[in-house]
Every structure is written in C-alpha cells, then in structure tokens.
C-alpha cells in the first residue's frame, strides 16, 4: 500500500511488525493526547482490512526508543475501514475519532471513555454516502465539522455536535466533484480536493466551488499543499507540477510554476512543506527532493538495496519530518527501510558556482540507512 505517513509512526509500526510474515504500513492519524496520566503519550489509530481499527499508545522512554501497545480495538463497520480523520474532533473535554468504511458509513468513536464504557465507545453512525468513504478530515475553521468524500466524489460536511434521531441530519453541506478522489486538504474555510485531473477549492461555508487551483492531465495520482505560501504540488505520470494558487484564481486554464520532470512511472508519493517537495512512486527507484519555491531539483535519494540490483523496485511508502526522510521498498520477501537524517550534514550537493546551496546535502558518512527484513 502506497502512502505518506508521520515519521515516528512509520518507524513505530515497522518495529512492531518485524516478526510478521507480511509488511504493511496502514494510513495513520497521530496527535498529542494524554491518557492514563502520561502527558508525553501519543495516540495513533490504524485502519485495518477487517471491520475494525486499533488505537495504539506510543511514547518515548528514557532511551528515546519508541514503544507502544494497543489500547483498544473498535468494531462496528460492516467491512474494511478505509479512512480516518486527520486529527481528533471536539474540544479538550471530549475527544472523538472519526472513521469511514467501505460500507459507506461514517462512525464517531469516543476516546474519552474508560473502564466498562470502552465497550460503548461508538458515539454515532452517520449515513448519507452511497459509496465507500475514501477520505476525511477535520475542518480548519471549526473542529466540530468533519469533511468526508466518497468514491463517487461526493463531498459531505457533518456537524458532529448535532444530536438527533435522524441518521443523516448531521450533514450540513454537500457538493459533487468530477473524477476519482485522490486527496484533500483543508485551510481555514477552504477545502482543496484533488480528484480526477484537477484540484478544486470549495468554500465550506457555502459549499460553492471557488476556483480550479490546478489541472494536471490526464490524471492526478498525488497532491499536497502549503497554504502559507499559496503553493501546491500535484503528481502525475512521469512528472510532478508546482502551482501558485494566487496566480490561478482568475484563470480558466491554470499554468504551473514549474514542472518537476525526471520521474519513472506514476508519482503516487508526495510531501510538501515550506522548504521542499519530496516525490516518489512504486516504479521509481529514487525519491526526488525539490525546492518548494522554484521547483529546482535539489537531490535524488536511492531507495533500493543495491544500485546494480535487477529487477528494480520503487518506493512503496515514505515519511518526511523536516530534514529526516524514511523510505520503504518491498522486494520479494524483504523490506528495505532507509532512514536518512540530514540535520548535521555539511557537504553541499554540487551546483553551479552562482547557485545557492541546497537545503539537502550529501552526508559525509553516507546515508543513515537500516535494512529490515520482514
């Protein structure tokens, strides 16, 4: 399964599955949450192929190693759990996790319950989607609003504080987009949805489409955004594209700021922050790093075990946290995990004399890598 995950949880889940016969990295949601008196504890939720998802508690010990255990298993969906909210709903007194299933339902789970009440952690089941719920996130301007999108690109906004016997009365907004949903991000009252071959901005207050922020033909495979810089990036087949939202507000046919060429196959993995864009895919043996402002190529990081290896394997998943990057590649019955930390690197990537040095460097001691077999 391809995707991008928080770095600490990526390492934590890899560690927990060393002894398993198969290697998988579920999409995870991680957020600070105090439980059982441990203020340094972190809660993560993983979606599974069954009708349940598990809640893990992980925290750093004195040796800074990551440990964790399953707090509870929440069952209720009539089929696989496909999506989880990117953060918890509600205020500090009532923490709620949302999940979306192949059964088309949205379920709200209370994390505040304890003891015998844990068996009744299912707070509500929301109906309205006719197709599987692919993605969901918490609205940027109001933490009680949950935004979901189903496989048929129908967007719904739910007010999770509404209590009513009507199963669909919590839905306070709807709209429909074109194409299969790829990803979505929320910034304040605007929702950016990547679906089909375009990224569309929707005002969550009116559910009206504000603009088409990007058009990546013929099809989108990944998407990320840095709202503070009004920049977004899309991944397609063989290349990624960098877009300026401000420049495209009045354009019917928006143009990219830069084209990030040189990929092999589909760009299904994409991370973007104010300083860099990191791209990769299942058919590309390299993960590429680009400057987010200009789209200038900064570095290429090898993902496989040996550059002479045949056949070649691409990057199946990755995690990025500042100057740390983890890539995972599944090769036959083994998983190659590469961890690179550029925090203390001092040897710049070779560039023309007049070009400023890149924010990503070659390490003097080589890559900080660790290969784990599963």
Residue 151's pLDDT is what? 97
Of 126-140, 194-208, 346-360, which range is least confident? 346-360
What pTM was estimated for this model as a whole? 0.78
CA separation for the pair 317, 38 (Å, rounded): 31
pLDDT of residue 330: 85
CA distances from 76 to 50, 80, 171, 226, 235 (A): 10, 10, 20, 35, 35
d(CA 238, CA 281): 10
Q: What is the pLDDT of residues 180-232, one digit of tens each?
A: 999 999 999 999 999 999 999 999 999 999 999 999 999 999 999 999 999 99
Confidence of residue 99 (pLDDT cuts 50, 70, 90): very high
Q: Give the whole-angstrom CA distance, residue 161 versus residue 182.
A: 28
Residue range 340-357: mean pLDDT, rounded: 67
Instruction: Determine the pLDDT at residue 226.
Output: 95
Q: Does domain 221-374 have CATH number 3.40.50.150?
A: no
- Strands 3-4 and 317-321: what pairing? parallel
Instruction: Give Cα 231 distance to the centre of its chain.
Output: 17
Domain ranges within the chain, ordered by starting residue:
221-374
Give me the mean pLDDT over the 94-103 stretch: 91
The span from the CA of 12 to the CA of 1, in Å, is 17
Q: Looking at the predicted structure, is the pLDDT value of residue 172 above 80?
A: yes
- Non-local (6+) Cβ contacts of 158 within 8 A are 106, 126, 145, 146, 147, 148, 170, 171, 172
């Amino acid at each position: 399964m391809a995707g991008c995950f928080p770095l600490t949880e990526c390492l934590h889940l890899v560690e927990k599955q060393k002894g398993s016969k198969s290697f998988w990295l579920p999409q995870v949601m991680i957020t600070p949450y105090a439980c059982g008196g441990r203020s340094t504890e972190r809660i993560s939720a993983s979606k599974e192929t069954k009708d349940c998802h598990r809640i893990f508690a992980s925290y750093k010990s004195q040796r800074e190693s990551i440990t964790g255990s399953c707090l509870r298993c929440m069952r209720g969906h009539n089929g696989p759990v496909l999506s989880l909210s990117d953060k918890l709903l509600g205020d500090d007194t009532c923490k709620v996790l949302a999940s979306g299933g192949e059964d088309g339902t949205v379920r709200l789970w209370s994390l505040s319950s304890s003891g015998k009440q844990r068996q009744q952690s299912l707070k509500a089941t929301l109906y309205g989607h006719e197709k599987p719920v692919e993605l969901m996130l918490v609205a940027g301007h109001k933490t009680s609003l949950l935004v979901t999108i189903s496989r048929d690109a129908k967007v719904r906004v739910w007010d999770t504080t509404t209590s009513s016997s009507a199963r669909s009365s919590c839905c306070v907004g709807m709209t429909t987009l074109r194409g299969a949903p790829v990803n979505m991000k929320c910034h304040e009252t605007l929702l950016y949805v990547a679906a089909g071959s375009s990224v569309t901005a929707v005002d969550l207050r009116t559910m009206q489409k504000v603009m088409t922020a990007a058009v990546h033909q013929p099809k989108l495979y990944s998407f990320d955004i840095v709202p503070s810089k009004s920049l977004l990036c899309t991944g397609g087949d063989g290349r990624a594209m960098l877009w300026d939202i401000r420049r495209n507000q009045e354009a019917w046919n928006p143009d990219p700021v830069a084209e990030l060429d040189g990929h092999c196959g589909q760009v299904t993995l994409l991370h973007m922050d104010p300083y860099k864009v990191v791209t990769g895919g299942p058919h590309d043996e390299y993960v590429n790093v680009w400057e987010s402002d200009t789209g200038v190529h900064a570095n290429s990081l090898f993902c496989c075990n040996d550059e002479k290896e045949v056949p070649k394997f691409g990057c199946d998943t990755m995690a990025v946290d500042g100057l740390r990057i983890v890539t995972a590649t599944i090769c036959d019955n083994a998983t190659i995990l590469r961890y690179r930390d550029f925090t203390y690197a001092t040897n710049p990537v070779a560039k023309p004399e007049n070009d400023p040095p890149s924010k990503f460097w070659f390490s003097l001691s080589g890559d900080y890598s660790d290969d784990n077999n599963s």
